[in-house]
Amino acid sequence: MVKQFWQLRAVLGAALVCCPLSAHLFTQPSAIAFPLDLVNCHVEFVDDVCLGYDAQFGQDRVALLQAIDHSLDYLATDAAAMAYEAYPLAGVIQERVQQSLVRFRQLVATSHSAQQLQASVAQEFDFYRSVGSDGAGHVDFTGYFEPTYSASAVPTAEYRYPLYSRPADLDAWPLPHPTRAELEGTDGLQAGQGPLAELELVWLRDRLEAFLVQVQGSARLQLTDGSVMSVGYAGRTEYPYTSIGRALIEDGIVAEADLSLPVLLDYFEQHPEELNRYLPRNDRFVFFQATGGAPPMGSLNVPVTAGRSIATDKTLMPPGALALISLNLPVPSTAGNWQTRPINRYVLDQDTGGAIRGPGRVDIFVGTGELAGQQAGLINTSGRLYYLLLRQ
36-69: per-residue pLDDT in tens? 887 765 434 444 555 567 888 888 899 999 999 9
382-391: per-residue pLDDT in tens? 999 999 999 9
| Residue at 152 is within a domain | no
Q: Are residues 174 and 275 in the same domain?
A: yes
Domain that holds residue 76: 37-143+309-390
Q: Are residues 169 and 130 in the same domain?
A: no
Is there a contact between 321 and 89 (Cβ–Cβ < 8 Å)?
Answer: no
Q: Are residues 132 and 174 in the same domain?
A: no
337-365: per-residue pLDDT in tens? 899 999 999 999 999 877 788 999 999 99
Q: Is the pLDDT of residue 336 over 60?
A: yes
Q: Are residues 286 and 348 in the same domain?
A: no
Mean pLDDT of 102-119: 94
Is there a contact between 291 and 217 (Cβ–Cβ < 8 Å)?
Answer: no
**Share above pLDDT 70 across residues of the chain, in percent, rounded to a whole number:** 87
Domain of residue 231, CATH code: 2.40.240.50
Q: Are residues 46 and 136 in the same domain?
A: yes
| Residue at 182 is within a domain | yes
Q: Are residues 323 and 204 in the same domain?
A: no
| Residue at 156 is within a domain | no
In angstroms, the CA 263 to CA 269 distance is 10
- Pick the residue with more confidence: 159 or 212? 159
Q: Are residues 274 and 167 in the same domain?
A: yes
Domain of residue 336, CATH code: 2.40.40.10
In three-state secondary structure terms, 110 is helix
Is there a contact between 146 and 296 (Cβ–Cβ < 8 Å)?
Answer: yes
Residue 51's pLDDT is what?
Answer: 54
Mean pLDDT of 319-341: 91
Gyration radius of the chain over CA positions: 21
Q: Is the pLDDT of residue 324 over 50?
A: yes
Domain end, chosen from 239, 261, 290, is at 290
246-292: per-residue pLDDT in tens? 899 999 998 887 776 667 778 888 999 999 999 999 999 999 999 99
Q: Are residues 42 and 19 in the same domain?
A: no
For the packed helices 78-85 and 94-110, what is the interaxial angle rounded to 10 degrees? 120
Is there a contact between 107 and 117 (Cβ–Cβ < 8 Å)?
Answer: yes
Residue 355's pLDDT is what?
Answer: 73
55-105: per-residue pLDDT in tens? 888 888 999 999 999 999 999 999 999 999 989 888 899 999 999 999 999
The single-letter DSSP state of residue 43 is H
Mean pLDDT of 176-187: 97
| Residue at 298 is within a domain | no
Across 160-174, 228-242, 331-345, least confident range? 331-345
Residue 52's pLDDT is what?
Answer: 61
Q: Are residues 132 and 169 in the same domain?
A: no
Q: How many domains does the chain have?
A: 2
> Please, which pLDDT band fits residue 215 given cuts at 50, 70 and 90?
confident
Produce one character per residue of 203-230: b if its CB has 16 or more CB atoms within 10 Å, e if not. bbbbbbbbbbbbbbbbbbbebbeeeebb
- Return left, alpha or beta for 48; rule: phi > 0 is left, psi -120 to 50 is alpha, else beta: left
Is there a contact between 389 and 126 (Cβ–Cβ < 8 Å)?
Answer: yes
Task: List the one residue out of 22, 25, 6 whose CA is nearest residue 262.
Answer: 6
Q: Are residues 228 and 265 in the same domain?
A: yes
Q: Is the pLDDT of residue 218 over 60?
A: yes
Q: Is the pLDDT of residue 377 over 90?
A: no
Q: Are residues 277 and 175 in the same domain?
A: yes
| Residue at 348 is within a domain | yes
Residue 322's pLDDT is what?
Answer: 98
Q: Which helix (H) or strand (E) holds 382?
A: strand 380-390
Q: Are residues 259 and 375 in the same domain?
A: no
| Residue at 191 is within a domain | yes
Mean pLDDT of 315-341: 91
| Residue at 149 is within a domain | no
Domain end, chosen from 224, 259, 290, is at 290
List the Cα angle 179/184/188 in 5-degree steps: 120
In angstroms, the CA 63 to CA 43 distance is 32
Mean pLDDT of 213-220: 86
| Residue at 154 is within a domain | no
Task: List the one residue out of 77, 51, 1 whose CA is nearest residue 271.
Answer: 1
